[in-house]
A = this chain, B = another copy of it.
Amino acid sequence: MKKLYVVGTGPGTETMITPEVEHAIAASSDLVAYGLYLDLLGTRLDGKTRHDRPLGEEIERARLALELAAKGNTTALISSGDIGIFAMATLVFELLERKQHGDEEGHGWDEVEIEVMPGISAMQLAAARMGAALGHDFCAISLSDLLTPWETIETRIRAAALGDFVVSFYNPVSKKRDWQLARAREILLERRPAQTPVILGRNLGRDDETVRLTTLGELRVEDVDMLTLVQVGSSATRAFNDGKRDWVYTPRGYARKLTLGDDT
């Protein structure tokens, strides 16, 4: 059976790779990923063929993984975090569907068995480092308007504000995008207090990890870069200091009733 594993290795290096992902990588002869992720795999690369493609060539990376597997090479397409969350897995299925419609040649792709394996995503580790911010209803929004119109993203942020969700922002800024996070902050501030806790998790799970607590009122775009996960509490999220350190958590339930109001 020709096989393609589509796997996430979690944040950081080693401590959060699930056993099934570890086995999938070990069983593969070919590993396809962004170079930095491959470097993090260390000795797992030994004896395997490494297919490194730069950022920006995501669709080519997914196609290469399918092609290698179709040739009979057991292949792992790898990303850090959860490959199913704002990452490469969806591209594999986009390509597969294009093949069904005749828009991809996809020679031999139908003989490949595909298995997707989740990994720990950045929002989960950001919450864990500071306590339990994802203890109640939450959402995740990518602020990248490369493929999604900004109007759609802004509507989602507005909906997140209306629903009083804890919000994790992926891709909050990039070299070319610097104003989206400020606009998101502005929208959320219309509906939740300035003292709402905000977690800034940078390089989560890596040696140079930093996790900072701030507030929605104090959040500055300059404190955030493309390696940062921004997690904004709901109106119920609480921050406190236990005498040694700060913690943030969102209680299981609460009495406040939400209404969508007339200003939407």
Chain A interface residues toward B at CB < 8 A: 10, 14-20, 82, 84-87, 89-94, 96-97, 99-100, 110, 116-121, 124-125, 127-129, 131-142, 144, 146-149, 151-152, 155-156, 158-160, 162-165, 238, 240-244, 247-260, 264
Contacts and interface: CB of A to CB of B under 8 A. Distances in A.
A152 B15 CA distance: 38
A14 B19 CA distance: 8
A116 B91 CA distance: 32
A248 B72 CA distance: 25
Contact of A100 (B17, B84, B142, B240): B240
A35 to B, nearest CB: 21
A8 B150 CA distance: 36
A89 B135 contact: yes
A128 B77 CA distance: 14
Contact of A89 (B249, B258, B260): B249
A12 to B, nearest CB: 10
B110 A118 contact: no
Nearest to A163: B159
Contacts of A139: 137-140, 160, 163, 165
A90 B238 CA distance: 10
A244 B114 CA distance: 11
Closest 5 CB pairs of A and B: A147-B253, A159-B163, A90-B135, A139-B139, A93-B249
A242 B264 CA distance: 41
B142 A137 contact: yes
A156 B137 contact: yes
Contact of A18 (B86, B120, B152): B120
A151 B20 contact: no
B151 A90 contact: no
27 contacts: A15-B20, A16-B19, A17-B18, A84-B132, A85-B134, A87-B135, A89-B135, A90-B250, A93-B247, A93-B248, A97-B247, A97-B249, A110-B244, A116-B129, A117-B128, A118-B128, A121-B124, A137-B142, A139-B139, A146-B253, A147-B252, A148-B253, A148-B254, A151-B258, A155-B163, A156-B258, A260-B264
